């Protein structure tokens, strides 16, 4: 287990940001404890995280001498992005039952919305 150097709650209290020595910052759901997003790119330990007042930007500071700003999606957007990945994984992995493949049913898909917007067709 890698050390966590900084922890910060989002302004609405729904998301927790962490900074650690694996050179990443991560976002976690406070309600479920599940990882929502990972930010990679620093070349040194990430020592600090801080949300902007509106919670839409996460600032990170690293031992590599840099500070970075990252766009943070809202909970619905993060869930939708992660569910698109889960849908694809479940659809292409033969080790799951059909009943398992409905895990993200009811969660809007940004990919589907983009196709609908570009084509004018509903899926």
pLDDT of residue 120: 53
- Entry pTM: 0.62
**Domains of the chain, each with CATH number or no CATH:** 4-73 (2.40.10), 76-119 (no CATH)
pLDDT of residue 116: 45
- Which residues are bridge partners to 94 per DSSP? none
In which residue ranges of the chain is pLDDT below 50?
115-116, 119, 121-123
Contacts of residue 17, defined as CB under 8 A and 6 or more positions apart, other chains included, come to 6, 7, 8, 9, 10, 25, 26, 27, 28, 49, 51, 58
The answer to whether 46 and 70 are in contact (CB under 8 A) is no
pLDDT of residue 77: 65
Enumerate long-range contacts of 108-114, CB under 8 Å, 24 or more apart: 108/76, 108/80, 109/80, 109/83, 109/84, 110/77, 110/80, 110/81, 110/84, 111/84
pLDDT of residue 76: 66
pLDDT of residue 117: 53
pLDDT of residue 25: 95
């Amino acid at each position: 287990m890698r050390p966590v150097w900084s922890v910060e709650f989002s302004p609405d209290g729904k998301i927790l940001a962490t900074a650690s020595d694996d050179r990443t910052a991560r976002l976690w759901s406070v309600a479920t404890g599940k990882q929502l997003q990972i930010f990679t790119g620093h070349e040194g330990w990430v020592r600090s995280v801080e949300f902007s007042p509106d919670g839409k930007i996460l600032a990170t500071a690293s031992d590599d001498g840099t500070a970075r700003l990252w766009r943070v999606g809202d909970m619905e957007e993060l869930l939708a992005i992660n569910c698109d990945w889960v849908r694809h994984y479940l659809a292409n992995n033969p080790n799951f039952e059909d009943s398992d493949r409905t895990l993200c049913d009811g969660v809007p898909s940004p990919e589907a919305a983009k196709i609908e917007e570009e084509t004018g067709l509903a899926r």
